[in-house]
Amino acid sequence: MRFPVDVAVLQKIGDTECAVVFFETPASDLVAVCGPHHFVESDFESIMPFVLRQGPCEFRIPAEMALLRVGAPRPTGLLKLSISIERDQSIERDIYTITAIIEVQNTAVYSGRPVQDLDLLMGIEKSLAEILRSSAVVPHRCFFCKFSDFEESTTFGNLRCYVCEKTSYCHAAADVSKDATERYIIFGLGSNAVEDFGTCAAFEVRPAPWGYRG
């Protein structure tokens, strides 16, 4: 999983906010720099527990916003994902809490419920999916696009774009809720790997339920 250059990641340590920097080394290892700590891993999920144990993180993702109930021109807003970690001693596992908030002109237009999950990426997916189901506001980022879907048996971080075959994809995506076998048609279509928080001019708001990921 990579991040677009305009995504800010801030970490709360005590009363202080500091930037958390994610980037790729020439060896393609993913690096997180967190205060005095320096972690080199190949997997976002491996890095985040180390980072979050220093303090909660907030991902700030700017995007044009479709205000679905208003029908107004698309303003620029901010999608905020707050992520924290807590150790559940009864099962000896980490539990992640993810909360999504969307602000437009410094006013919250969406405040999601805290989502908890043992799987970080699954928790992020659930939190973002609730934005779609709210039918209130949708950021113009690939996760929320009508023409995107996950690879088979995967979750957040494994997004594919079907714009090149959008007619065939939309036909199958519309029918998955009625006929689960339609998902196999989706898997057979041509697609390109894209970032969950990427964007392009072909963006259209994703309905719900829709496609393989519902």
Predicted confidence (pLDDT) per residue in 121-144, tens digit = 999 999 999 999 998 899 999 999
What single-letter DSSP state applies at residue 113? P
H-only helix segments in the chain = 44-52, 120-134, 166-175, 182-187
Model confidence, pTM: 0.89
- Looking at residue 75, what is its pLDDT? 87
> pLDDT, tens digit, for every residue of 11-60?
988 888 888 877 656 555 666 766 666 666 667 888 888 889 989 999 99
Instruction: Determine the average pLDDT of the residues in 98-119.
Output: 96
> pLDDT, tens digit, for every residue of 157-177?
899 999 999 999 999 999 998
Which pair of structure tokens corresponds to residue 127? 């939190």
- Looking at residue 83, what is its pLDDT? 96
Residues 6+ positions from 123 with CB-CB distance below 8 Å: 96, 97, 98, 115, 116, 117
Comparison of pLDDT for 67 and 124, the residue scoring more: 124
Residue spans of the domains in the chain: they are 1-140, 142-214
Nearest-5° angle of CA 115, CA 116, CA 122? 85
Which pair of structure tokens corresponds to residue 41? 């891993």
Buried b / exposed e over 144-153, threshold 16 CB at 10 Å, is bbbbbbbeee
